[in-house]
Amino acid sequence: MLDFNDKRLAAPAEKPVAIGRIGRPNLPIMMTLENRAERVSTGLLGEPVAVYGEQDDFLLVRHGFDHYVGWVKRDGVMKDMEVTHRICVPLTYGFSKPDIKAAPGTTLFLGALLKAKGTVNGLTECEGVGWVPQGHLVPIDQFAADPADVAVGFFGTPYLWGGRDALGLDCSGLTQSVFGAVGIQLPRDADMQFAWSGEVIENWQSPGALQRNDLVFWKGHVGLMLDGESLLHANAHHMAVAHEGLAGAIDRIGALYGPPIGAKRISLTDRARPDWLGPASV
């Protein structure tokens, strides 16, 4: 099992110098500041971050939900603010006025956090982003019931290393996002999800052992079961979120990377703060 003190999540200092929120629809989080630095994750509008340092036009931050540490553009972080609602669909827009024919402004992704005001003509005004379709918002304490239902909405989304939104997802970005939509926080990376989340499914390869919403893991990869035989996953073979039979995926992936390392089942009713996050903090 991975140590909960994994360096990818380690706070750079005892205390942050500031607390803020992601101020762009999607903000790359990079491992280093080298030229063409690797994106390790993506922050979504309104998500909290702790700021630990700065260099040139960049800030060193720790994500408030999964504690991933990396560098982001300085102008992509805004001051902390109250949030009341969350985007509950893969992709939507904030319109310039309460009219669906108005010019779209901000692109918004599943999980984005907003401060909602009044509603007119089925559109809700949200601070800083315009008017959002009322049905695309839910209060921050209201969650979806089924991760697989949410995941199907991402079918065909391009594969993107470090992605967490409808413009691009990687395998663990997909599973983290859809479980987040039901109020369950998973770690960012597949190895962390396998080590720290859910319960091991013993004899998972036996007929009938797997069920909807179970996670199947390979070394460095994870997919979500839609039923006992079908897998949905963001993968570099299809370069998209794709649906395929588990048996075929095992054969195809196994030829390159080996067999699955196991399967886990996540309780859909346990929304308690997970142990790997440690004491409550940003």
Token pair belonging to 108: 């918004």
Do residues 28 and 39 touch, judged by C-beta distance below 8 A?
A: yes
What confidence tens digit (pLDDT) does each residue in 32-61 have? Answer: 988 678 899 999 999 999 999 999 999 999
Considering the four listed CATH numbers 3.40.30.10, 3.90.1720.10, 3.40.640.10, 3.40.50.300, the one that applies to the domain covering 147-277 is: 3.90.1720.10
User: Domain residues of the chain, as ranges?
Assistant: 7-79, 85-139, 147-277
d(CA 60, CA 40): 13
83-87, 89-93, 108-112, 277-281: which range is least confident on average? 277-281
pLDDT in tens, 121-171: 999 999 999 999 999 999 999 999 999 999 999 999 999 999 999 999 999
pTM of the model: 0.96
Phi, psi (deg, nearest 5) at residue 246: -60, -40
Q: Does the structure show a pLDDT above 80 at 280? A: no
Q: d(Cα 199, Cα 216) in Å, to the nearest integer?
A: 12
Per-residue pLDDT, averaged over 167-183, amounts to 98
pLDDT at 147: 98
For domain 7-79, the question of CATH label 3.40.50.300 is answered with: no
Q: How far is CA 267 from the centre of its chain?
A: 18
Tell me the pLDDT of the chain averaged across its residues: 95
Note whether 7-79 and 147-277 share their fold: no
DSSP one-letter string for 187-229: PSSHHHHHHHSSEE-TTTTSTT---TT-EEEETTEEEEESSSS
Give the sign of the dihedral formed by CA 21, CA 26, CA 30, CA 34.
negative
> Residue 1 — very low, low, confident or very high, per pLDDT cuts 50/70/90?
low
In the predicted model, what is the mean pLDDT of residues 258-270? 96
pLDDT value of position 270 = 93
CATH superfamily of 85-139: SH3 Domains (2.30.30.40)
Continuous segment of H or E residues that includes residue 26: strand 26-30
pLDDT at residue 37 in the model: 82
